[in-house]
Amino acid sequence: MLVTGAAGLIGSHLCAAFAGAGWEVRAIDRPGADLSEARAAGAAPSEAQLGSPEGALFAAELAKGASLVAHAAFPGAGLQEEALASARAAMAAALAAGAPYLLLSSSTVYGRPRNLPCEEGDPKRPIDQHGMTRWAVEREAFLWRRTRGLKLIVLRPALTYGPRQRRGLAAALVVASLAAHDGRPLWLPRRGPVVHLVHAEDVARAALLLAERADLAELSGRAFNVADDVPLPLEELARAVLQAAGAREAGRLPYSPASARAGLWVLRHTPSWMLWNRLNKRLARAWLRAFDGRPPTAPPRLTPELLEQLAADRYYDTTRLRTLGFMPRWPSAIEGLLELASHSRAQGLLPAPRVPQLPQPARTGS
């Protein structure tokens, strides 16, 4: 099989899952990408700019004899043309190899769902750049299915987290870990909207489940939501992040949907140099201090995309995938985040919480 975007969060987990199941895995990502995880998992990594003509030809060569092309490459939320170019290259490679094309998309294509839980056939109304780009790629893939006979299967993961992630929940976990390291408590929202998550390992396990079905060709044209068993109110999710980081809770702040939407609008329209650049500079300084000037990796970045995911109720119907036998290894993000923090801390990727100083016993005179 061929995995594109193999250095990314989901792509690296795809390499590990398929190689662990005995598949021959060929992995590709942009030049300079860190493919060490894919290599360690047993994949054969290569570098190419997939959206270029040379990269497309190289991908087609790699895909020869492959029984599946899994497209996990995603250049970024605001890079729609680049995302389409890389998707077309991967689709052309799948067609040339006569292989099914597994597109790793996102639940952001639904926008803010009107029906809950949100099913695969519900309207697609993306409202941010990430969802719009994902939906543009999906539309292109379905067009290729109708006009060129592409054997297409789509996976739409919920808000995804996992090892080696540098944005999203990983940034929130780092912020909480830095607060725990400095001994500072953090405030939580009171309840808030319901959020649905999924561990990257479970996304890869869902892909493997589909790929190993004897009737894979009959699934062509179908999309599958991928999420864990327990959607969490924002308060519980934030508390799980604090618990995983070893941070203390300062108290709860009232949450209002109207105020949250208004605040989100302001944050979206605030220039990066006024807010996000400053926040990320402060995060970078705290990251350096926590590791005495020698951090193991670059600091994660805070972005407004995560706020949109936490601004409204979003939970998804996964019956279609579960009917095929899917069961997540991490049924709740509470356990998943605890394991993630423990694993990251053991590898030196998160600062340890501050150990409270015990009062010294008073000396008694002789």
Read off the DSSP letter of residue 1.
Answer: -
Distance CA 317, CA 151 (A): 24
Read off the DSSP letter of residue 358.
Answer: P
Which strands sit side by side in the sheet containing 222-226, from one edge to the other?
44-47, 26-29, 2-4, 69-71, 101-104, 152-157, 222-226
Distance CA 325, CA 311 (A): 32
Calculate mean pLDDT across residues 239-255.
93
pLDDT at 282 over 50: yes
Pairing relation of β-strands 2-4 and 69-71?
Answer: parallel
Calculate mean pLDDT across residues 241-259.
90
pLDDT at 366 over 50: no
Which pTM value belongs to this model?
Answer: 0.92
Tens digit of each residue's pLDDT (9 = 90 or more) over 121-170: 999 999 989 999 999 999 999 999 999 999 999 999 999 999 878 778 88
Tens digit of each residue's pLDDT (9 = 90 or more) over 104-116: 999 999 999 999 9
Q: How many helices (H) and strands (E) does the chain have?
A: 13, 13
